[in-house]
Structure 1
Amino acid sequence: MAEWPSVDVVVPPTTVRLEFSGRRPEHAVRDLGGVYAGDRWGASPTDGDFDYRYTALGDDEVTIRRSQMRGAIHGVVPAGGDYVVTWMSLGSTEVELPGGRYALPLETPVLFPPDEDFSFRAADHDQRLVHLDRAFVRRIAAARGATGDLALRFDVERLPGPDGARRWQTALTALGRALRIGGPESAAWRGAKAAVVEVFLDLFPPVVDELPAVLRQPRNARLRAAVQYVRDHAAEPVTISDLAAASGLSVRSVQESFRRVFDVSPLTYLRHVRLDHVREELLDEDPQAGAVGDVARRWGFAHLGRFSAAYVERFGEYPKQTLRR
């Protein structure tokens, strides 16, 4: 019996239409915390009456949203979910990560941290948000250049300049117009939402995340921050206390997390990262330069005998053999 060729089924995006409002802080916590799977949220009046309003329109690939509040709200937003770009036009919002705290500027597109839990405080605000589905962003990023099956990583502290802010506003104006005129099932909407992702990728240039796939799991978000710290500071003195501060974990939890996921201690993981960097440099060095010692010291290896033994254990050859390749 002949077999029919398999056909990929394309599931059309689902329309998103959401609106709620209220005058009670506990209802704001229920409604807004529900949208963002929030944890430990609270709300209160600031000066006078409390009220809030939230709207969202689009589809499950891109939605345009607006959040307005007379009052204050705070809480924790878990890692994962959509990429969310916000534009504050009134009020104040402060974001806190394990590595520090920063206030969102007005009239500037800002990317909320997508890959680690963060806490926030907002008061008397009016902000417009754009939610971008991760898979949709990945498809467009892949069309711009190969990304393989690795995750994208974004610098949440990057702030576009005035030209970038104008580009974002122009893209959002076109997105809103397509939504009003054609609706979320129109060709105009499909083109406009692809264009807004293109601008997003220009304003917040992603890098392909070479971290292990296991660190993409939300439960490993804090360990991910510690691993990223190791990668960013491998040439510097690094202590377990530094990793604890970067990740928001206790020293003991840092040690247990590295053992659980990598089956090595944090300092052994650091040594492996340093050895990998040494090997990369030796493979690029001139064999006549005799630079093994210099490269090793640059990556934190003060005792060259111990370094050589660790190198052989990891790569099965001596550093000078790598240099002569």
Structure 2
Amino acid sequence: MNQSISRFQDVHMHACAVRDWNQTYSQISAGPLESSLMQLKSTHAHVFREQISQRVVQHGEAPKGKMCFAIPAAVSGTVRMQGREADANSLFVLRGGEEFMFHMPMGMDMLSITFDGELFESALEAMPSPGDIRTLLRQPVIKVPSQRLEECRDQLLALFSSALAIDAPDASDASSGTPDLERDLEREMLDGLLGLLADPTCDRNQRPGSSTQSFIVDKCHRLTVSDAANAPSVIELCQRLQISRRTVQNSFRTVAETTPVKYLRSVRLNGVRRELMATRASDLAIGDAAANWGFFHMSHFAADYQELFGELPSQTRRAGR
């Protein structure tokens, strides 16, 4: 198995280190960020645990041909996945190629497991009632009885920790394990998750709907990044969505625990930061990167950037340095 343990002070670097996922992470709450990412990659599964100190929104696409699950190890605030409200008693599900939007609170601790689709389908077919489980898996957020989820979470975390420790307790990047160990890990994790989904205490008829407030926040997010250089104002977003400013304000407060102005500005500032980190200073000036994301008043931009990330844009590490 290939394993790695990494720590970051930048959410973009963290997101880039998550293998096989096409996604962006945007830091929403202001201040220095600390994160850790522990990963195990076997032949047919990818298991990773991530802890991030600041509030973050994830936007991207699940790996094609995979079946993806996540279980929160610790939750300290509002969580929204695909517009559904979630808590510590939730199991998150994504199918390969599915676009997603996930709002993580400060201090989120998450265990994610991605299986090859064929392996998962084969294991599912061997279950007593695969059709019932397939129906349940149509939901991106599955509410599970707390005691049963806690048992499954403890089992999966123990399996992950044990596998991660094999041959490399202090490794920063190493390959270890045998084919038998890989298969045992994949099988035990599959059995744990499928056992949870097949448990009779798990409500088969749950249909948690996407909230209007989450739809508003996610729509505003997408409209902002789709034409970042000409990012619409909050008033323009209200006009496009044909809703009141108060409705927008309340939606952002509920979903992201901040104002629409601060949230959307943070998303754009993250866009500038990603551009700066991906380019050489000689190839892209800070002012041009800022303009690409709709910032034209450089002193205001620099102050907002420093407030969010704890450093000036001129201090951000550029490519090639």
Q: Sort the TM-score into its range (normalised by shorter chain).
A: 0.3 to 0.5
TM-score if structure 2 supplies the norm length?
Answer: 0.47
TM-score for the superposition, normalised by structure 1: 0.47
Larger-gyration structure (1/2): 1
